[in-house]
Amino acid sequence: MTPDLTRLTEMLTSSQGTAPVPDWAAAETALRTGLPADYKELIETYGGGFIDGYLLLLEPNCPSDVHDLLKISAEREEANDSLWQFEDKPEEMESPGSRLVCWATTDNGEYLYWLVQADDDPDARTIMINSESGEDWERYDMTATRFLGAVLAGEVRSEIVWDKFPLPEHQFRPACEM
């Protein structure tokens, strides 16, 4: 277990044991890109689910459609293509071959993405957060597990996500319980 995931498990308990291992090769084929190792370990530990009653962690082929990484990523890619006909893309998206893969969303309609660029290292991808209006963006140069741990510890504060997140006492509700 990575140090960032170990830290996260100390803050965020789950009622389920180890989650079933997704078919990572099939997921990466469907997404047309590799997935970060820390994210895979995160999903193998928790599975998809709901963090602090607000953030929906997505999992490949999750039985709950609202937690399905493949479904939500495809929907967001299509929605962003439409959005960018009217709004400016974030400047990080200007290089050829850049695209976004959604790995989490929120109850308020914000989306958390990995910025995928041509020939990049999945383990060094930037996190991009988009507001529910689609106009505002934030950038975080850290892994998903480091980001979640820093947010839950109060070390990182987004201007986009709900100001009541995270809760003082953290909770994880697996998608399989919903």
pLDDT per residue as tens, the chain (178 positions): 889 999 999 998 876 656 678 999 999 999 999 999 999 999 999 999 999 999 999 999 887 788 899 999 999 999 888 888 887 888 888 888 899 999 999 989 999 999 999 889 999 999 999 988 878 899 999 999 999 999 999 999 998 988 888 989 999 988 877 6
Q: What is the DSSP letter of 72?
A: H
* Tokens (6 digits) for 1: 């277990």
ω into residue 174 within 30 of 0, thus cis?
Answer: no
